[in-house]
Chain A
Amino acid sequence: MRAAGLGAALIYTSFARPSAVAWLTHFVPYWNEGLLLVLPAGAPLLLAAFSKRMQGWIRSVSHVGEVQSVSNLGRAAGRLLEERVPGSAKIGVLELDALPWPVAEPLLNSHANRLADVTALFASIRQPADDTEIRLAQRAADIAVKALGSIPPGVVRASQVLSAIEGSARLDGAEEVLPRLAPDLAAGTALRRLEGDLPLGERYAVELSIAYKATWVRLARCFSMNAPQSWLHAQRWTLDWATRISGDAPGPPPGVITFWSLEACIGSKPFSVVASAIGPRGTVSAGTLSCFSIKLQLPDGPWLGGAPVVIGSGAPGRLLA
């Protein structure tokens, strides 16, 4: 902030965009919204759309300085900026373009000439992950692997898969469990959010995203009672490439790559695509906590895989699952 000449930074948080504020304070608003005011010195101040009685809970689960319960986040932030950041210093806003209009409008009315987008600045400092975040991600990955391992053999319905995953992951302390399922790989590889139930094909795939103490990981596995040998090769090759993703692929793939992406948390959302099959978005620095996903067309059918990985520096990266 000092280098950028910012008098303050504002960071919005919601269930859909919790990650930046969680990274700074560990606070996640779940069913509500908040706006974090970061000043050049002192603990950040949280404006929360929760009623005042929830302040005790907010303090018990986060590291913030002052907490103010407000009904209009943008208006309250505008007033606060007038009090605490007088003058003409720029006010950085993370993902200004994406700020919900009810929050943005009052800010625009009061401080239009001072607002500056700091998305790139934030992304430049968000990674690499520190040891604490990597340990939390490892715990989340362990929860996810165990949850996928809890799927009973011989299940025939998608609901059986999802119930086993959800129960296992929540019992291990996962805060959020987001499964997507390709219920029959012979019919398609699209990962679906299932409403209702569907029969499973002989081969199916699960992508599982887990949050543990606000740290998200995502991985994917294929399942079959008669898993072919080609899946083992695909898994080995994929994990090898995942650890070297910033470099060349480890030799020819075991099939045709139909899709791949690398996601990392670089802003307010848990996962942003930072590199993909249709062109990299930016460089991925060493130490970045990321999630690699891939789809391969193997000689005997499609295969999906994915794993969280800490990008290496000169050496292979570290797989978390």
Chain B
Amino acid sequence: MPATLRAERGARLAAAMAAEGIDVLVVAGDPWRSDYLRYAADITPTDGQVFALIEREGHVQVVAEHPAEAARFHSEQPDLRVSWSPFPIEDAEAATRSFGRRRIALAPLAAVPYRLATGPLASSMASATAMLDRLMLRKSPSEVDALRRAAALADEGYAVFREAARIGRPEYALVADVEAFFRSRGCPENFQILASGGREVRGMHPPTERPLAPGDLVTTELTPCVEGYYAQICRTLVIGSPSEAQLRAFAVYDEALGAGIAAVRPGATAGEVARAQNEVFRRNGLGDYVTSEYTRVRGHGLGLYVDGQPALLEDVALVLEPEMTLIVHPNTYHPEVGYVVHGDSVRVTREGCEVLTRTPRQLFSVPTR
């Protein structure tokens, strides 16, 4: 990550800590919940637990569970004080005690381990997590720039995916082509799930050995990462020419995606964006298929985590603000054709939103040869 972005986030964090009266922030993370560590200390764990103890003045102490990770963090940021321990929770606890009577807070709730959460910092967790969430929701110009580049990469990745989708190839071969492409472009991570088949398909999953067959709907969600920021695209393709039923179904998803994106503007709630999408399904007699029985969310926040806040669900009251970034995706099961996905990454602007992904919104068809 550019040092300028690191410095910019460090300054925002220091100001927020000052406003909250926090002298030292202890941030926990691991290879899955690395988003808060990325924001607060520009650290991305790939192995084991990691704790960063961040003083408001900028000094950062890191406790890693693996020696190779500790060496990596130090090489990436020589100013960090890094140690490793097979018992990182105990070491983080001891390091925290060394700050004595300074005002210490612990975050994020999702990653704080039981032992630390039941200690003296328990009462600080909710507010410290909320502080970081506020910082991470609205993106700076540099962060938006990284998201734009991630979105462009997602578009290119989907083109590779379409080329890779051919009869007889197993699902994992498609992922191989996409991942090799992303690596060739310097992308260190991509969250991808997919599915292939027909009415029996109820959702996406990691790739299996199933070979693609004529008539399959092939769905995927690609989420490449640039400088830590994830953008996502969801598209569906057909092996061969789409059937009438597939085209009819797709038209509903396309309308829903358009309605959802049209609803994204400052002052709207996450719930309103979800409702705009769901109403399209209800008008088409598909109201049952926007319930939790068949789908999870109608989109979600994007940033340093692949599935960030806010969740786009009708009961979520969070108000959208400029420079929030989201994926809008009315993905769900369709009783005639199976699971369909369709989604674009967007940035909330002062007037409405900017769509970051550019792949045409169509039901793609790939040759059966």
Contacts and interface: CB of A to CB of B under 8 A. Distances in A.
Interface stretch (A53-61, A235-243, A248-256, A308-316): A53-61
B114 A54 contact: no
5 contacts: A31-B191, A31-B306, A100-B114, A102-B110, A271-B47
A90 to B, nearest CB: 16
B202 A53 contact: yes
A100 B113 contact: yes
Nearest to A259: B67
Contacts of B184: 159-160, 162-163
Given A98-B49, A100-B113, A108-B118, A167 B177 contact: yes
Interface stretch (B28-36, B130-138, B353-361): B28-36
Interface string A43-57: 000000001111011
> Considering residues A99, A166, A190, which has the most beta carbons from chain B within 10 angstroms of its beta carbon?
A166
B180 A164 contact: yes
B183 A273 contact: no
The 3 closest A-B pairs by CB, nearest first: A167-B180, A170-B176, A190-B75
A104 B49 CA distance: 17
A191 B111 contact: no
Interface stretch (A1-9, A13-21, A78-86, A130-138): A13-21
A170 B186 contact: no
B179 A170 contact: yes
B183 A51 contact: no
A273 B66 contact: yes
Given A98-B115, A269-B48, 19 more contacts: A14-B32, A15-B31, A30-B193, A51-B295, A51-B296, A53-B293, A57-B202, A97-B89, A97-B115, A159-B184, A159-B186, A166-B180, A167-B177, A178-B46, A190-B74, A194-B186, A195-B188, A271-B48, A273-B65
B86 interface: yes
Main secondary structure of the interface of A (DSSP, over half): mixed
Contacts of A101: 109-110, 112-114, 117, 125
A25 to B, nearest CB: 16
B68 A272 contact: no
Contact of B32 (A16, A51, A56, A163): A16
Given A57-B203, A195-B186, A100 B118 contact: no
A190 B71 contact: yes
Contacts of A189: 71
Contact of B44 (A30, A167, A193, A269): A193
Nearest to A57: B205
A233 interface: no
* Interface size of A as a range: 35 or more
A175 B180 contact: no
Contacts of A227: none
Contact of B307 (A31, A166, A188): A31
B107 to A, nearest CB: 11
A16 B30 contact: yes
A110 interface: no
A259 to B, nearest CB: 7
A98 B186 contact: no
A166 B294 contact: no
B74 to A, nearest CB: 7
A180 B66 CA distance: 13
A173 B117 contact: no
B75 A188 contact: yes
Given A53-B202, A193-B46, A259-B67, A99 B176 contact: no
Contacts of B110: 100-102
A297 interface: no
B91 to A, nearest CB: 12
Contacts of B31: 15-16
B49 A162 contact: no
B185 interface: yes
A33 to B, nearest CB: 9
A83 B71 CA distance: 48
A52 B292 CA distance: 8
B26 to A, nearest CB: 13
B79 interface: no
Interface string A94-114: 001111111011001000000
Nearest to B31: A16
B72 interface: yes
Interface string B27-58: 00011110000000000101111000000000
Contact of A104 (B117, B181, B182, B296): B117
Nearest to B226: A195
Given A53-B294, A98-B113, A166-B176, A197 B186 contact: yes
Nearest to A112: B118
Contacts of B293: 51-53
Interface in A157-184: 159-160, 162-167, 169-171, 173, 175, 177-178, 180
